Amino acid sequence: MDIVIRHGTVVTAGDISQTDVGIEGGVVTHIGRGLGPSAREIDASGKYLFPGGVDVHTHVDFELLGNRSVDDFYSGTAAAACGGVTTIVDYALPAPGQSIQGSIEAWQQKAKDKTIIDYGLHPVILEPTQKIIDEMAEAVADGHSSFKLFMIGMARFDELAAHYMKVIAQAGRVGALTNIHAEDQCLISYLAEQFAAAGKFGVRHFADSRPRLSEGLAVQRAIAMARYAEAPIYLVHLSCEEALAPVREARAHGQIVYGETRPIYLHLSRERFEEPDGERYLGWPPLREASQMQVMWDGLRCDNLQTVATDHCGWSLTQKKSGKKVEDLLPGMSNLETMLPMLYSEGVSKGRLSLNRFVEVISTNPAKLFGLYPQKGTIAVGSDADIVIFDPKKAVTIRHRDMHSRSDYELYEGFDVTGWPTMTLSRGEVIVENGKVLGSSGRGKLIRRKRFSPM
C-alpha cells in the first residue's frame, strides 16, 4: 500500500469505528485493524477521519455587478483544502448568448491549471431559450447533471417564468437536478424603489429590503412549478422558516425537493449589519433574526435540509462597501476554509448534530445528490481517498491572517472553535498538512458526474 492511516476513528454517514485505512493508487483499498506495512505511515491516534467535504455551492472565480472576485481557483481551493473540503461544484455562468458547452469550457479554462482539489461544474441558465433547452441533454451526458436557475432580476425570471418551467421539466427528463435561488423579485424591486425614495440607503436597510416572505413566496412558487413539471428541485441557501415550511410540506407529500442552507444562517444574525463594515456579512438572502438560526439547525437535524454549502465568493472589503442603494450591495463572502470547523464546533460539540449527521450534510448527501457518490462522500473500499484527519480537541481562534482566501477580511474574526483539520488528502495525496498547502496548482480534476437519482 502507498499509505496507511492508523489508529484513527473513521466516521461515515452510517458508522463510527476505530480502524486503519489503507490507500493505493489514490483510492481506499483496505479498511480494518492491523493492516500490513505501507510506504507512508500516518498516525491518527485521537483524531477523526472524515470523508472530505463536498461543497456544491461555490463561486470561486466570479464576476458580479461589475466586480471580479479576489480568489482564483488556486487560492479558493487552497482555502477549501485547508478547511477539509476536497471537492467543490462551482457555478459556470454563461456570457450573453453563450451555449452551455461554451460556459463549461470557459470555466474549465479558469480552473484547470489552478485548482488543487477536484471540482464539478453546474451550468447556470440565464437565457431559457429552446436552443439552450435542446443543449441540456448533451451537458448531462458530458457529466454536468445539474442546472442552476435564479428567480431574480439578473435572470429576468418573472418575465420568462414559463420558459424557465420548461427548463425544470427538461432537467427532470434528462436526469438532472435543478438548483434554484429562490427570492421574489417583485417584492425586492418594489421595496428597493421605496427605500431609495425614502433615503434608506446602505447595509442597515438591507435585511428589510429582502424580507423573509420574499424568500418564502419564491420557494412556494418553485415547488409548485417543479410539481407540475414533474421534476426534482434543490433549493439553495435557505435562511428562514418561511422558506423551510413549504419544503417540509412538499417533502411530507412525497415531492422530490431538497434544501440547502449556508453557514452564515447558522452562525450569524442580522444585528451584524449594524456593525461598522456590516457589509462584510452581506449575502442574498440576508442574515435573519437570531430566532431563525435555531430554525435552520432544527431543519438540518430533522432532514428538512439535506446539505450545508458555502456560496463562497471572496471579495475585498472595499468591493463590499462600494454599493450604495440596497440592490447594489455586493453579496457573498469567503467561507470555504471555516465551513467544516465551524459546523463541527457549533453543531457537533454543542449537541445540535450527531457526528454521523455532520458527515452526511457536509459530504455524503451533497455527493449523492450531485452524482459524485460513492467516488466522493464516504470512506469505503473503492472510493477516492479524499480524507480529512480532524483533531477534535484542537482549539483555534479564527483569524484572517491564518486564512488562505485572498479576501482581506474574515467573517468569523475572533470566533473560538474547538476542532480543526490537521491533514487533508485528495485521491491519496497529502495536499495540506498542519495548515501548510502541499498540493500543486492544477492537480485537481474535473469530475464528470452521474445522472441524478433521488435519495
Q: Say if CB 367 and CB 54 are below 8 A apart.
A: yes
Residue 34's alpha-carbon distances to 1, 331, 389, in angstroms, are: 13, 50, 19
User: Would you call 447 helix, strand, or coil by DSSP?
Assistant: coil
Q: How far is the CB of 296 from Mn ion (least distance, A)?
A: 17
Site string for Mn ion, 255-294 (x = CB under 5 A): ----------------------------------------
DSSP bridge partners of 138 = none
State the Cα angle at 184 between 182 and 190, rounded to 5°: 155
Query: Between residues 10 and 60, which has the closer beta carbon with respect to Mn ion?
Result: 60
Distance CA 278, CA 272 (A): 6
Q: How far is the CB of 90 from Mn ion (least distance, A)?
A: 10
Q: How far is the CB of 423 from Mn ion (least distance, A)?
A: 29
- The residues in 100-139 that bind Mn ion, with binding defined as CB under 5 A, are none
Helix H or strand E encompassing 318: helix 317-320
| Region from 107-115, 243-251, 301-309, 311-319 binding Mn ion, contact rule CB under 5 A | 311-319
| Region from 7-15, 109-117, 270-278, 307-315 binding Mn ion, contact rule CB under 5 A | 307-315
Distance CA 401, CA 296 (A): 30
Distance CA 357, CA 14 (A): 9
Query: Between residues 247 and 313, which has the closer beta carbon with respect to Mn ion?
Result: 313
- The residues in 319-338 that bind Mn ion, with binding defined as CB under 5 A, are none
Q: How far is the CB of 87 from Mn ion (least distance, A)?
A: 17
| Region from 18-26, 305-313, 398-406, 447-455 binding Mn ion, contact rule CB under 5 A | 305-313
Query: Between residues 124 and 342, which has the closer beta carbon with respect to Mn ion?
Result: 124
Helix H or strand E encompassing 342: helix 339-343
Q: How far is the CB of 182 from Mn ion (least distance, A)?
A: 12
Q: Say if CB 427 and CB 118 are below 8 A apart.
A: yes
Distance CA 319, CA 408 (A): 10
User: Would you call 134 helix, strand, or coil by DSSP?
Assistant: helix
Query: Between residues 19 and 103, which has the closer beta carbon with respect to Mn ion?
Result: 103
Number of chain positions touching Mn ion (CB under 5 A): 1
Amino acid identity of 232?
Answer: P
Query: Between residues 264 and 359, which has the closer beta carbon with respect to Mn ion?
Result: 264
Whether the bond between 37 and the residue before it is cis, its omega within 30 degrees of 0, is no
Query: Between residues 117 and 313, which has the closer beta carbon with respect to Mn ion?
Result: 313
| Region from 101-109, 205-213, 306-314, 415-423 binding Mn ion, contact rule CB under 5 A | 306-314
Please name the residue that has the C-alpha cell 442552507.
261
Q: How far is the CB of 150 from Mn ion (least distance, A)?
A: 9
CB atoms within 10 A of CB 301: 15
Q: How far is the CB of 57 from Mn ion (least distance, A)?
A: 6
Query: Between residues 183 and 386, which has the closer beta carbon with respect to Mn ion?
Result: 183
Distance CA 43, CA 126 (A): 49
Query: Between residues 42 and 177, which has the closer beta carbon with respect to Mn ion?
Result: 177
DSSP bridge partners of 124 = 148
> What DSSP character marks residue 13?
S
Q: How far is the CB of 311 from Mn ion (least distance, A)?
A: 4
Q: Say if CB 81 and CB 39 are below 8 A apart.
A: no
Pick the binder of Mn ion from 311, 337, 360, 384 (CB under 5 A): 311
Kindly state whether residue 61 participates in binding Mn ion, applying the rule CB under 5 A: no
Please name the residue that has the C-alpha cell 457549533.
346
| Region from 60-68, 304-312, 353-361, 433-441 binding Mn ion, contact rule CB under 5 A | 304-312
Amino acid identity of 105?
Answer: E
Query: Between residues 103 and 424, which has the closer beta carbon with respect to Mn ion?
Result: 103
Cα of 447 vs its chain's centroid, Å: 16
Query: Between residues 118 and 311, which has the closer beta carbon with respect to Mn ion?
Result: 311
Q: How far is the CB of 131 from Mn ion (least distance, A)?
A: 25
Residue nearest to Mn ion (CB): 311
Which cell goes with 183?
Answer: 427570492
Q: How far is the CB of 356 from Mn ion (least distance, A)?
A: 28
Residues that bind Mn ion (CB under 5 A): 311
